[in-house]
Structure 1
Amino acid sequence: MLRRHDEYGNHKVCRLLTCLLYKLESNMDTSEDSTFLQDMLMGNTLHLLIKVYDRLQKYRDQQPTPLLESTEGLLQDLAEELHGEVASRETSELLDLLSRPHVQGLLSVHDTVAQKDYDPQLPPLPPLHDHKEDEEDSFRIICMIKNQEPLGATVKRDVSTGAIVVARIMRGGAADLSGLIHEGDKLEEVNGVPMEDRNPEEIIPILAQSERTVTFKVIPGTKDELATKNTKIFMRALFDYDPKADPAIPCKDVGLEFRRGDVLQIVSQEDDTWWQAKHQGEANLRAGLIPSRQLQERRMALQRPEALFKLPSVLEDVDYRAISGIQIAGLRRSFRLSRKDSRSQQVRQKTVEGHGYIPEPIYQEVSPYHRKPEDRYRLVLLTGPSGVGVTELKRKLLLSDPEHFSVTVPYTTREQKRQEKDGVDYHFISKHTFEKDILNHKFLEYGEHSGNYYGLNIDSVRRVLEERKVCLLDVEPHVIEALNTTEFKPYVVFVKPPSIERLKLSRRKAKVLSSPNDQKSTKTFTENDFKDMITSAQAMESKYGHLFDKVIINDDLAVAFTELRDNLRKIETESHWIPHTWAHV
């Protein structure tokens, strides 16, 4: 009856194919789709698949059993017998065939399936005769397979009872995936060794001695399990962290190492001291411990005790640069101010700072962002120490595609020259208007030179962005904070000098302006210039490094330009990370 049913099923498939071919012939056209479908239905591959289907249907309910459960033993017996025979070409060929790895592998798989030996052999559970029947449900015996990775749990001593309890379960680790061990569980035994009067540090060598399995005897804890949140939280790390060098971490083996700028996925913030996280995009499901924001902020504060007692002045003068206007291939004039000329300023920008210690940023919550065609381009800020090559990189970007990249037009109160055009070379405004805009905080940078004001107005930045161009700004690091808003979404590139040895080699023929006020007088770099450049770069990175999206070492100008251009293309076309607040406004 089964065979008749299978034949009937196969007959139905054949009838269906016949009907399809008949319909195709009666409605045949010359399209490629019709020809392709007809060739496929008449091809040998499909008919062979139908035959295989027929054979599988025949044996579907027969449930065949293996004739032997150990073909590997039969193979060894046959090989010994063949070795005892008179040597011949056929015997040697058969021995060679049976000794090949893929044949032995096939027989090994056959035996595994025949014996149904799929799972690892677990040791027998310890006897329960020492416990009363009413106590048998008060503890659990847990046996876990040991592999190269940690079990993903940390332990601690309960201060009230002195017992060894599970402090935390690492998300994605072996303990978490098993679902058998929970936070708050009391460890009675580990591999048969009682935990009474033992320290948490003594568990590590006990686990190391076990070869394949680890057996725990635990008393379930009473701690309520918190519901796991599905919300994904991503943080950009703003400092380097090595768990091996952290004496405070509960277990160095479960710590997660990261570098400044890495994006981490936070999987648990239940512990106020230690968060659980993993590197974004990492295939490993197991999370690792990292310092929480609160813990790291306390550490940073303790490292700078003088900051707790220093109260900055409410109004603090900020040094700026006098003019070093550089003509960029006839496009527009670049504007930067100089700290060296700050004494001559009669009007200075004031900044108001809050009282008390402001901790350095530890983590920055970020979200993925992909620019839409209708969105404005992100503002590109280039910064770095004097002489490192920021202006040269900006100049090369402008010349590479002047229709795509652009710069702002500075404002000034001086008289317009005959060959100059208002709005092209400068925006020429009155001194009264300039000072009014200063009071209204419209200037990102400004200064005075020869009795005239010069400055970078934030409205000029908006004009460039509204033209659907990438606005390039060459700024001092303190300006970045003023532009670090949702409106501009700045992409900050820090241009960093190489080592002093590389600077001597790559800048041995380079020239630098002798004075910011003298555009014609130049000089070669000195060793003190190189030292000042490196020292200034270190100070900038230490204070403003959390604002930098990309750090480029300008050892070779052509290589640095290519790296910069490629990165700017990526943020225009590919998904990348921006502060969470920018993406949800």
Structure 2
Amino acid sequence: MITSHMNGFVQEASGQAKSHRERAVDCPGDESSLVKAPHSGSSAQMERIQHYQEELRKRREEEGGRGKHDIDPNASLRLKKLSQNPKVGIDNPTFDSKEKPTKDALTLDPLADLEEWLTALKWAQHCLTDAQSQQDVELTMQLLSKEDFRNAFTIYSAVSLQRSKVSPNSPLTAQAEDLCLEVQKILQSSQQKEGLELKALLTNPQFQALMQAHDCVAGQEMPEENVTQYVGETVKLVRLEKARDTPLGATVRNDMDSVVVSRVVKGGAAESSGLLSEGDEILEINGVSIRGKHVNEVHDLLQQMHGTLTFLLIPSSQIKPAPHRQTVMHVRAYFDYDPSDDPFVPCRELGLSFQKGDILHVISQDDPNWWQAYRDGDEDNQPLAGLIPGKSFQQQRETLKKTITDRTREQQGKIWSAKKNKKQRKKNATVFSKTTDLEDILTYEEMSLYHQPANRKRPIALIGPTNSGHDELRRRLLSIEPEKFAVAVPHTTRTSRIHERNGREYHFVSRPAFEADLGTGKYIESGEYGKNLYGTSTDSVRHVINSGRICMLSLHTRSLQVLRSSNLKPYVIFIAPPSQERLRTLLATEGKTPKPEELKEVIEKAREMEHNFGHFFDATIVNMDPEPAFYELRRLIEKLDTEPQWVPTSWLC
């Protein structure tokens, strides 16, 4: 199956297609996009209408300025007709003003019918002798005289007339704009209520645009030869006048000899018009036959076309689901993606590249394998939505990739694996089976905007390798503003010293109590030193939060998962070291003289942290200089009070 991106269309290829290139060639158009529909008109009828309008103009000139400043409907037969019936009026030459109204024309006035009925009832009332019958007639006459009944009867008559008549298959006029202007001139000096209402209606921008669209559509005629070539097939004619800066946004594919619309992309002219649908076969474009052409030929053809594009289509036979409002899903990407390196993307040019940590706004999941999305912050510069791998599809191919990698390693290790004991081989098999679990594959996480309350500050976790400067930054914050920042008091199983007080330096607990809390997941991180257990509990962090201060944490990366699974809503900042040479200079100012291998180890450790845990980081500061790094840290923390931040949606449930 091969497809092409041309003039907003996109070429798609799969299987063994010889060409997988993607080229966007936008068709230049006017500054505004217009949608035009097909219409089959009659030139004879148009001449009759024009002749009728010309007679009206001559008659108006003969009458001079009579009735020019008066809105009385009797001064204008066209307005009188329009007030009597919306189907007979300005645009409808049902009868000439010189002709005597026929019986059918008179019945178009429902109020006249009511008057006739009242006259007949009065006559019948005089002919009746018994009091009951006269009373019944009197009640009926009162009903017919009520204003509410008259209004209801007028509406009923108009609806009945509309339903009884067959709609014309062609417009009655192509000069609706001119007629509206004529009526506006008559209404210029009118102060009557009806005149002001009609003037407001005719000068409404939406109504004027409707009349303009009506005249554009009415002036078009669908060539009969286009229909006769496709006998037995239902066809439709679609005209799109695309603005220069608005791509069409659709992909097509070859299906045998046919060229079929494969995908309608959000944000393009095709999607906004609603006239092109997936599965529509394109028969002609601007009169050029498309059947039998390769999509590359169609691409080259559309490169030479400009302005209005006219598509002759066979509508898709697929049953279209009822339209529904799709909600936007916001996700954070946990992997890097480059569509130019993806052989499976249906359309490379529509592929949306992103990096780990980017926020993506997914606006369509109609295709579960290829979502349509915008990258956060790029909506204004990205007219068309981009294609990104769907979550399940990405998980499946990442699982396949890991499976292939593990099998390769297993085969390479057969030479020495025989030396291992059964327990070691069983351990390897367990690890291999885990890699096939889709839930272990990081792809996307759904996010929502969150603004922290003024009295419940999010804890700040500083992460970084040794000698990256994260501990120094934390200590500086605590020393400068102790009333704003605080640390969580840790727990320990060792005995307290003379100068220590429980709850100030440590929470002193027994070893069984510590181990019991550790088993229930109450500790963010813990460890053993000198045969004593130490740990930072979620309760200690929550105590600082409840006091209105910001809890500063300096954690190991392995503690991030536990911290995120709590309800503390942490803000994680990664403090990255600078280059090896700059790091040597910074450590020298502190009186440290690390060896080259130690500096290299700091850099490598930072890269490892970022690769394995970067999806947990909310921000990154490269510690090139302590002063700028400190002010950047302050800026990020203060921003939490002024700007909402993206957090996992699960935190807000």
Q: Taking structure 2 as the reference length, what is the TM-score of the superposition?
A: 0.59
Deviation, 1:223, is 2.3
Deviates more, 1:225-234 or 1:571-580: 225-234
Relative to structure 1, the CA distance from residue 360 to residue 397 in structure 2 (aligned partners, 3 Å threshold; closer, same or farther) is farther
Out of 430, 436, 443, which is 1:362 matched to? 443
Question: Could you tell me how far apart the structure 2 residues matched to 1:167 and 1:148 are?
Answer: 23
Letter in 1 for 2:364: S
Letter in 2 for 1:184: G
Deviates more, 1:385-394 or 1:147-156: 147-156
Question: Could you tell me how far apart the structure 2 residues matched to 1:299 and 1:355 are?
Answer: 15
Deviation, 1:152, is 0.5
Letter in 2 for 1:139: V
1:454 alignment partner, SS class? strand
Deviation, 1:276, is 0.9
1:179-218 aligned at under 5 Å gives the runs 179-218=274-313
1:539-558 aligned at under 5 Å gives the runs 539-558=608-627
Q: Is the 8 A contact 2:239 2:310 kept in 1?
A: yes
Relative to structure 1, the CA distance from residue 119 to residue 556 in structure 2 (aligned partners, 3 Å threshold; closer, same or farther) is farther
**Map of 1:174 onto structure 2:** 269
Out of 240, 256, 259, which is 1:164 matched to? 259
1:273 aligns with 2:369: yes
**Map of 1:476 onto structure 2:** 556
**Map of 2:386 onto structure 1:** 288
Question: Could you tell me how far apart the structure 2 residues matched to 1:446 and 1:241 are?
Answer: 36
Higher normalized contact order (CA 8 Å, seq sep 6+, divided by chain length): 2
**Map of 1:340 onto structure 2:** none
**Percent identity of equivalent pairs:** 37
Question: Could you tell me how far apart the structure 2 residues matched to 1:382 and 1:556 are?
Answer: 17
Letter in 2 for 1:293: K
Q: Is the 8 A contact 1:152 1:169 kept in 2?
A: yes
Question: Could you tell me how far apart the structure 2 residues matched to 1:60 and 1:119 are?
Answer: 18
**Map of 1:456 onto structure 2:** 536
Question: Could you tell me how far apart the structure 2 residues matched to 1:384 and 1:445 are?
Answer: 15
Question: Could you tell me how far apart the structure 1 residues matched to 2:468 and 2:534 are?
Answer: 24
1:180 alignment partner, SS class? coil
Question: Could you tell me how far apart the structure 1 residues matched to 2:519 and 2:484 are?
Answer: 33
Letter in 1 for 2:476: K
Out of 536, 542, 545, which is 1:465 matched to? 545
Question: Could you tell me how far apart the structure 1 residues matched to 2:463 and 2:230 are?
Answer: 73
Letter in 1 for 2:185: D
Relative to structure 1, the CA distance from residue 267 to residue 401 in structure 2 (aligned partners, 3 Å threshold; closer, same or farther) is same
Equivalent residues, number = 427
Q: Is the 8 A contact 1:207 1:214 kept in 2?
A: no
Out of 231, 237, 245, which is 2:327 matched to? 231
Deviation, 1:61, is 2.5
Question: Could you tell me how far apart the structure 1 residues matched to 2:539 and 2:407 are?
Answer: 39
Q: Is the 8 A contact 2:454 2:641 kept in 1?
A: no
Out of 250, 255, 262, which is 2:351 matched to? 255
Deviation, 1:553, is 1.2
**Map of 2:457 onto structure 1:** 377
Question: Could you tell me how far apart the structure 2 residues matched to 1:437 and 1:130 are?
Answer: 79
Letter in 2 for 1:465: I
Letter in 2 for 1:132: T
Q: Is the 8 A contact 1:413 1:453 kept in 2?
A: yes
Deviation, 1:391, is 0.5
Relative to structure 1, the CA distance from residue 129 to residue 411 in structure 2 (aligned partners, 3 Å threshold; closer, same or farther) is closer
**Map of 1:494 onto structure 2:** 574
Question: What's the CA shift string for 1:25-70, capped at 9, x where partnerless?
Answer: xxxxxxxxxxxxxxxxxxxxxxxxxxxxxxxxxx962699xxxxxx
**Map of 1:61 onto structure 2:** 185
Out of 583, 586, 590, which is 1:510 matched to? 590
Structure 2: runs of 5+ lacking an equivalent:
1-66, 72-182, 189-211, 410-430
Question: What's the CA shift string for 1:1-48, capped at 9, x where partnerless?
Answer: 77699xxxxxxxxxxxxxxxxxxxxxxxxxxxxxxxxxxxxxxxxxxx
**Map of 2:248 onto structure 1:** 151
Q: Is the 8 A contact 1:293 1:362 kept in 2?
A: yes
Q: Is the 8 A contact 2:584 2:593 kept in 1?
A: no
**Map of 1:132 onto structure 2:** 228
Deviation, 1:456, is 2.1
Letter in 2 for 1:542: H
Letter in 2 for 1:222: S
Larger radius of gyration: 2
Deviation, 1:265, is 1.8
Deviation, 1:379, is 2.1
Deviation, 1:481, is 0.6
Question: What's the CA shift string for 1:313-363, capped at 9, x where partnerless?
Answer: xxxxxxxxxxxxxxxxxxxxxxxxxxxxxxxxxxxxxxx999453443211
Deviation, 1:442, is 3.0
Question: Could you tell me how far apart the structure 2 residues matched to 1:164 and 1:400 are?
Answer: 69
**Map of 1:87 onto structure 2:** none
2:465 alignment partner, SS class? coil
Deviation, 1:310, is 12
Question: Could you tell me how far apart the structure 2 residues matched to 1:509 and 1:192 are?
Answer: 77
Deviation, 1:432, is 3.6
1:129 alignment partner, SS class? helix
Question: What's the CA shift string for 1:382-423, capped at 9, x where partnerless?
Answer: 111111111011112212321121111122233322222222
Deviates more, 1:148-157 or 1:164-173: 148-157
Question: What's the CA shift string for 1:255-291, capped at 9, x where partnerless?
Answer: 3233333322211101021111123462456322211
Question: Could you tell me how far apart the structure 1 residues matched to 2:309 and 2:533 are?
Answer: 76
Letter in 2 for 1:437: D
Relative to structure 1, the CA distance from residue 400 to residue 2 in structure 2 (aligned partners, 3 Å threshold; closer, same or farther) is farther
Relative to structure 1, the CA distance from residue 401 to residue 126 in structure 2 (aligned partners, 3 Å threshold; closer, same or farther) is same
Relative to structure 1, the CA distance from residue 436 to residue 288 in structure 2 (aligned partners, 3 Å threshold; closer, same or farther) is closer
Q: Is the 8 A contact 2:403 2:435 kept in 1?
A: no
Question: Could you tell me how far apart the structure 1 residues matched to 2:432 and 2:566 are?
Answer: 22
Out of 292, 300, 308, which is 2:398 matched to? 300
Question: Could you tell me how far apart the structure 2 residues matched to 1:535 and 1:394 are?
Answer: 23
Relative to structure 1, the CA distance from residue 501 to residue 144 in structure 2 (aligned partners, 3 Å threshold; closer, same or farther) is farther
Deviation, 1:150, is 2.9
Letter in 1 for 2:357: G
1:308-323 aligned at under 5 Å gives the runs none
Relative to structure 1, the CA distance from residue 440 to residue 289 in structure 2 (aligned partners, 3 Å threshold; closer, same or farther) is closer
Relative to structure 1, the CA distance from residue 355 to residue 298 in structure 2 (aligned partners, 3 Å threshold; closer, same or farther) is closer
Question: Could you tell me how far apart the structure 1 residues matched to 2:560 and 2:213 are?
Answer: 64
**Map of 1:419 onto structure 2:** 499
Question: What's the CA shift string for 1:362-394, capped at 9, x where partnerless?
Answer: 1111112122345x2222211111111110111
Q: Is the 8 A contact 2:254 2:260 kept in 1?
A: yes
1:301 alignment partner, SS class? helix
Q: Taking structure 1 as the reference length, what is the TM-score of the superposition?
A: 0.65
Q: Is the 8 A contact 2:402 2:435 kept in 1?
A: no
Question: What's the CA shift string for 1:69-127, capped at 9, x where partnerless?
Answer: xxxxxxxxxxxxxxxxxxxxxxxxxxxxxxxxxxxxxxxxxxxxxxx999999x98884
Deviation, 1:307, is 6.7
**Map of 2:509 onto structure 1:** 429
Question: Could you tell me how far apart the structure 2 residues matched to 1:205 and 1:409 are?
Answer: 70
Q: Is the 8 A contact 1:151 1:173 kept in 2?
A: yes
2:486 alignment partner, SS class? strand
Deviates more, 1:424-433 or 1:286-295: 424-433
Question: Could you tell me how far apart the structure 1 residues matched to 2:534 and 2:490 are?
Answer: 7
Out of 127, 141, 144, which is 2:237 matched to? 141
**Map of 2:594 onto structure 1:** 525
